[in-house]
Amino acid sequence: MVSNQVKNQLDNMIVIPGGAFLRGSSESPDEQPVKLVTLNDFAIDKTPVTNQQFRVFVEEGGYENPEFWIPKGWDYINGNNIQYPNYWYDDHFNQDDHPVTGVSWWEAMAFATFAGKTLPTEAQWEYACKGKDQRKYPWGNEEPTFEYANYAVDCNPEELNRSSTSVFAFPKNKSFFGCLDMAGNLAEWCLDNAFFNYQWDKTGINPIYLSSQEDYHIVRGGCGLHNEDFMRCTARDNYPVSVRDNLIGFRCVINTI
């Protein structure tokens, strides 16, 4: 039986039934080998975490309570006197219905813990994006246009003064399971540490790559500075765990539903 607490947590989330899917693609060496992966049931946020949602964490003392933080993250925010996201007061990125950005992986994890959730594994993120039909982009196989996502054609440097957009701005940007804004706008932190391909995965069952180094973590989905190639469901990138640039946001998952 699902508890009332979990029911409340599942608000604005999508339940993804467990199953098997082909992870990766032949389009880039870092997306290989293509492998049949099996996942348990999980629920994932329908949209990236918004500024409005993250404000609850800020206002309820999330940056002041070590209970929510991995020790290295706690040391980092205190050592740098961090009390809110890096773009919290930047009107290019801080509207209520825009995805929060300027958050390190540690901040994303702290919010997820505060919310009773965690970050998606790379495999969970990809499955929620493309499902079982091997679609190239979250919305299908149609090539990206500005009707689908906030991105940069050929990574045009003129976009450096860009703004984020609402997580609801592109209703066509809907994944196989109904998640919104999984391509462009902001890339999204995953739980996995970075590895240059999938050779580490021997079983294909609920895979996750974790390293004691904690130096770099995977991000998915591309951002407003990435080109069309990063809009693909299988495209991968990674960033230092401490980066707080306006490239990355996140969404959360619940694994016990």
- Among 118, 173, 126, CA closest to 20: 126
Domain boundaries, the chain: 4-254
CATH class in words for 4-254 = alpha beta
pTM summary value:
0.94
Ordered DSSP codes for 223-244: -TTS-GGGGSTT-EEEEETT--
Mean pLDDT across 102-116: 98
Cα–Cα distances (Å) from 162 to 46, 141, 159, 183, in that order, read 24, 26, 5, 16
Alpha carbon distance 133, 34 (integer Å): 14
Given a contact cutoff of 8 angstroms between Cβ atoms, the answer to whether 228 and 222 are in contact is no
Residue 32 predicted with pLDDT over 50 = yes
Residue 177 predicted with pLDDT over 80 = yes
Mean pLDDT across 177-184: 97
pLDDT of residue 10: 79
Residues in the chain: 257
pLDDT of residue 194: 96
For the stretch 139-156, pLDDT in tens is 999 999 999 999 988 766
Q: How many CB atoms lie within 10 A of CB 81?
A: 7
Ordered DSSP codes for 136-192: SBTTBSSPP-TTT----GGG-GGGGG-----TTS-TT-B-TTS-B--SSSSEEEEEE
Mean pLDDT across 182-205: 97
